[in-house]
Amino acid sequence: MYDGSSVRAAYDGISAWLGQTTPEDRRLKAREAEVLFRRIGITFAVYNEGGDPERLIPFDIIPRILDAAAWALLERGLAQRVTALNAFLLDAYNGGEITRAGRIPTSLIVGNPGFRPEMQGFRPPAGAYTHVSGIDIVRTAPDRFYVLEDNCRTPSGVSYMLENREAMLRLFPDLIAAHRIAPISRYPEELLETLRDAAPPACQGNPVIALLTPGQYNSAYYEHSFLADEMGIELVEGADLLVDGDVVFMRTTQGPRRVDVLYRRLDDEFLDPLAFRSDSMLGVPGLFRAYRAGSITLANAVGTGIADDKGIYPFVPEMIRFYLGEEPILCNVPTWRCAEADDRAYVLEHLGELVVKETRGSGGYGMLVGPCSTKEERALFASKLRARPCDYIAQPTLALSTCPTFVESGIAPRHVDLRPFVLFGSTVRIVAGGLTRVALREGSLVVNSSQGGGTKDTWVLEA
Amino acid sequence: MLARTADSLFWLARYMERAENVARILQVACRMASMSRSIGNGSNEWLSTLVAAGCEDDFAAVHGDAEPSARAALHYLARDPSNPSSICSCFETARRNARAVRTALTVDMWEALNETWIGARSFGERDFEPDRVAVFLDWVKHRSLLFHGAYANTMLRNDAYYFTQLGTFIERADNTARILDVKYHVLLPAADPVGGALDYYQWQSILRSVSALRSYHWIYRETLKPWHLAEMLILRPEMPRSLRSCYAQITRYLGLVAETYDNRRGECHRLAGEIDARLRVGRIEDVFQCGLHEFLTEIIDDTAVLGQNIAEFYLVS
């Protein structure tokens, strides 16, 4: 929020508002927000930790603001990045020019746990793999954005983006009216359009679209039902679907009904016990065969995990140059790949300054934040890293931007990141904003909700 | 619509209806328990309450065959998580079903169910003591009324609504039949030796349990007579909880579902029509002639079969 000593222009309105409200007012509003979220049932399941199985993600009432120029830059960068990621996926499963050109090591693709050999030689409709991606971004300077992570499988969080705005509209109508904020409520329609675009060639007429959820015990179940509801499509579980003659049907009160596009929020390995994990009870036997036969589109495509892996991440700028012939607009965080001897040596020597991550880890688990770590933690991590160097990468801790946040002691700066959602179909669609996550603990860089992070409404100001 | 969605709507409505009925039965039991003490009769209201709720065997399995105490029966029927028909379990199940099909619910319906679930968890052990439980039971009734209002006022009149209504009325028919069946001995004609002051209060309590005491006086303009009472709850079309009313609604909504789906009909339509006809043309004299208990047992069994037929025809495919 602060730009040197003066308040950044975009925050003028908020700053004035904060000056007028009393701590009592703000506490009251924060409580109201909590009641609101609890009543709507916007919850996040945290497993294996005891306590409330349906936990609320803390919501901070002070919005995070991006001005129009910053957003324009970000939007171009996101479209560029996602276009390149899709080109990479198509290439990786159909010939692999980029590996033959020596720009990405083959081992990173075929040795990747997200790699699905069954996808080789298959082209999904329009070459679209990541119909929905969530790109995690941090900002270090006004026009400098770094991508932390690409999420190309089944990224979640968009319902929080939408509900956070609804909560703000309800709690602070005057404050919102005093700003020109880009609306975001079109997202479900844009998603529906993207899914329609993806209909398989076999589909005649208006495609029947459904959202496949693992069920109500999944941590993102609220989001699944919310999106299905907003799009007016059926929310199905594996048991609601059946495959007959390579065609997918859902069981309805009037008998089987054909499905053309499945927005699946179920990981690859659980999709089809005949093709992947045979012990999965969540999937649909024969679904993958129907997919390969071209009778149904899965969004996102199967096997996209090879594009968002932490091992492949350092190569994304290279993909942008290779497929698009452009220079990347968004930066990659410099990354040391511990599989490389030189990199490994550097990382082991500088553990105290770096963030070390497991390539397969997610949710903020399995990482070492060097500057906040103890000597013992570093020693433990060093031995794990030596044992399986391929499993680790390391990055410098960036001077992340902070955002004023309402905490116990009052208002204080906290680190934030941003997950904008990029829709990729016949065209790239991005709703102006994203999910802002905030690290609620002082000094913490970890914003994951599973690690006690919270969220904020994200405002993109219109020019 | 998805078969699973219809199934969840059907069952969430059944469980909300069941919660309300258990609350009504418990309200009567509390009243009768204090009264039987003052009349000095010594009968155990709590046992017949467990019977009415269809829980006596499961209760005995947990607590043994001793006379149930007020506290144990209240706990078992109002909040015990091991009893799937306890009020709190009903709310839990209803909410779980609702959550599984949120997209089929209106926002108001969801909020009514979700707030009920949250509210039920905020009652503590002390709130279920015999001298305090009235507050909880009133609350349950209000929540049920709110749920009915929410869905009646906000749902589209389509198949989702029809299945919700079917769940409500199948459960209600079952519950009305059970309440009557448990008390059938006090409804036998007055010559029966069981009669007396206690019986009179029991008749009255049956009517109270279905909020029909005033309606009784409106219809019959007489003192309480057992055969009137039985007629009212079995055969009177204007009484919303009577078996006849329930079956009028069941046949109506089954018919609407069939119309929605190209007039496809099955065994459930036939059976519902048959029971409906029995209730429409029946006379209370004949019911008593053949045996009230036998008549009610048949309705309870037929209603269970009807529920299965509906499930086979629509809810699993």
Distances from the Cα of A350 to the Cα of A12, A344, B178, angstroms = 40, 10, 75
Sorting pLDDT into bands at 50, 70 and 90, what band is A4? very low
Is the pLDDT at A30 greater than 90? The verdict is no
Closest C-alpha among A380, A376, A356, A359 to residue A368: A356
Q: Which are the contacts of B179, defined by CB distance < 8 A and separation ≥ 6?
A: B21, B25, B52, B206, B209, B210, B233
Residue of B nearest to A232 (CA): B103
Residue A356 has pLDDT above 70, yes or no: yes
Which pair of structure tokens corresponds to residue B61? 């399995």
CA B134, B140, B143, B144: dihedral to nearest 10 degrees?
-130
Nearest to A252 among B2, B110, B118 (CB): B2
Relative orientation angle of helices A158-171 and A23-40, to the nearest 10 degrees? 130
Task: Residue B149: name the closest of B20, B313, B300 by CA.
Answer: B20
**pLDDT of B221:** 87
pLDDT at A448: 72
Helix/strand/coil for B2: strand
Confidence of residue A5 (pLDDT cuts 50, 70, 90): very low
- The whole-angstrom separation of Cα A389 and Cα A66 is 38
**pLDDT of A60 above 60:** yes
Nearest-5° Cα angle at A55, A53 to A59? 175
Report chain B residues whose CB lies below 8 A from the CB of A252: 1-3, 317
What pLDDT is stored for residue B196 in this prediction? 62
How are beta strands A261-264 and A297-299 bridged, if at all? parallel
Interface contact B103-A239, CB threshold 8 A: no
Say how many CB pairs under 8 Å bridge A and B. Answer: 61
Q: Which CA distances in Å does B53 have to A29, B25, B223? A: 45, 8, 28
The answer to whether B244 and B190 have CB atoms below 8 angstroms apart is no
CB-based contact, A56 to chain B, within 8 Å? no
Tokens 């009216």 appear where?
A177
Nearest CA among B52, B63, B3, B58 for reference residue B23: B52
Would you state the pLDDT for residue A140? 86
Tell which wins on pLDDT, B55 or A54.
B55
User: Which residues make beta-bridge pairs with A436?
Assistant: A418, A456
* Higher local confidence (pLDDT), B149 or A362: B149
pLDDT reported for residue A251: 95
Give pLDDT, residue B197. Answer: 66
- Note the pLDDT of residue B188: 67
Of B100, B114, B314, nearest to A39 by CB-CB distance is: B114
Q: What is the 3-state secondary structure (H, E, C) of chain A?
A: CEECCEECHHHHHHHHHHHHCCHHHHHHHHHHHHHHHHHHCCCEECCCCCCCCEECCCEEEEEEEECHHHHHHHHHHHHHHHHHHHHHHHHHHCCCHHHHCCCCCHHHHHCCCCCCHHHCCCCCHHHCCCCEEEEEEEEEECCEEEEEEEECCCCCCHHHHHHHHHHHHHHCHHHHHCCCECCCCCHHHHHHHHHHHCCCCCCCCCCCEEEECCCCCCCCHHHHHHHHHHHCCEEECHHHEEEECCEEEEEECCEEEECCEEEECCCHHHHCCCCCCCCCCCCCCCHHHHHHCCCCEEECCCCHHHHCCCCCHHHHHHHHHHHHCCCCCCEECCCEECCCHHHHHHHHHCCCCEEEEECCCCCCCCEEEHHHCCHHHHHHHHHHHHHCHHHEEEEECCCCCEEEEEECCEEEEEEEEEECEEEECCCEEECCCCEEEECCCCCCCCCCHHHCCEEEEEEEECC
Judged by CB atoms closer than 8 Å, whether chains meet at A237 and B264 is answered as: no
A194, A131 in Cβ contact below 8 A?
yes
Identify the pLDDT of residue A247.
96
Alpha helices per DSSP H over B122-225: 133-154, 159-182, 184-187, 197-209, 213-220
Q: Does B185 touch chain A (CB under 8 A)?
A: no
Q: Would the CB atoms of A235 and B99 count as touching at under 8 Å?
A: no
Mind telling me how many Å the CA of A78 is from chain B's nearest CA? 31
Q: What pLDDT was estimated at residue A47?
A: 52
Mutation site, B1, B2, B92, interface A, largest A CB count within 10 A:
B2
Burial B285-304 (b: 16+ CB within 10 A, else e): eebbeeebeebbeebbebbe
Per-residue pLDDT, averaged over A412-420, amounts to 91
Residue from the list A216, A236, A255 with its beta carbon closest to the beta carbon of B317: A255
pLDDT tens readout for residues A108-137: 899 888 999 999 999 998 889 999 999 999
Question: Measured between alpha carbons, how far is B123 from B86 in angstroms, rounded to an integer?
Answer: 14
Yes or no, beta carbons of A229 and B102 under 8 Å apart: yes
- Asked if A254 and B264 come within 8 Å (Cβ–Cβ), the reply is yes
Mutate which of A56, A253, A258 to disrupt the B interface (most B C-beta within 10 Å)?
A253
Residue B148 in contact with residue B154, Cβ under 8 Å? no
Q: What stretches in chain B show pLDDT beneath 70?
A: 36-43, 186, 188-198, 317
Interface of A with B in 210-229 (CB under 8 A): 215-216, 221, 225-226, 228-229
For B264, name the nearest residue in chain A, comparing CA atoms only: A254
A41, B114: Cβ pair inside 8 Å?
A: yes
Sheet holding A336-337, edge to edge: A336-337, A392-396, A354-358, A367-369
pLDDT at A435 over 90: yes
Closest CA to A220 of A157, A149, A167: A157
Which residues 119-178 of A have a C-beta within 8 angstroms of B?
none
For chain A, give the percent of residues with pLDDT over 90: 56
Alpha-carbon gap: B73 to the closest alpha carbon of chain A (Å): 29
Residue B24 Cα, gap to closest chain A Cα (Å): 27
What are the chain A neighbours of B257 within 8 Å (beta carbons)?
A: 253
Write phi, then psi, for B315 (nearest 5 degrees): -95, -25
Look up residue A126 and give its two tokens.
């329009």
How confident is the model over A251-302, as pLDDT tens digits?
A: 999 989 999 999 999 999 999 999 998 888 889 999 999 999 999 999 999 9
* Model pLDDT, residue A152: 95
pLDDT in tens, A327-346: 999 999 999 988 889 999 99
| Pick from A40, A229, A234: CB nearest B2 | A234
Nearest residue of chain A to residue B110 (CA atoms): A40
Name all contacts of B254-258 with Cβ < 8 Å and 24+ positions apart: B254/B166, B254/B310, B256/B162, B257/A253, B257/B159, B257/B162, B257/B163, B257/B166, B257/B314
Query: Which residues on A lie below 8 Å from B262 (Cβ)?
Result: 254
Q: Chain B window 233-272: which residues touch A at a Cβ cutoff of 8 Å?
A: 257, 261-262, 264
* Residue whose pair of structure tokens reads 């933690």 in the numeric block: A377
**Chain B residues within 8 A of A239 when measuring between CB atoms:** 4
For residue A310, pLDDT over 90 is answered with no
Q: Is a pLDDT exceeding 60 seen at residue A6?
A: no
Q: What are the CA-CA distances from residue B11 to residues A435, B34, B117 (Å)?
A: 36, 34, 16
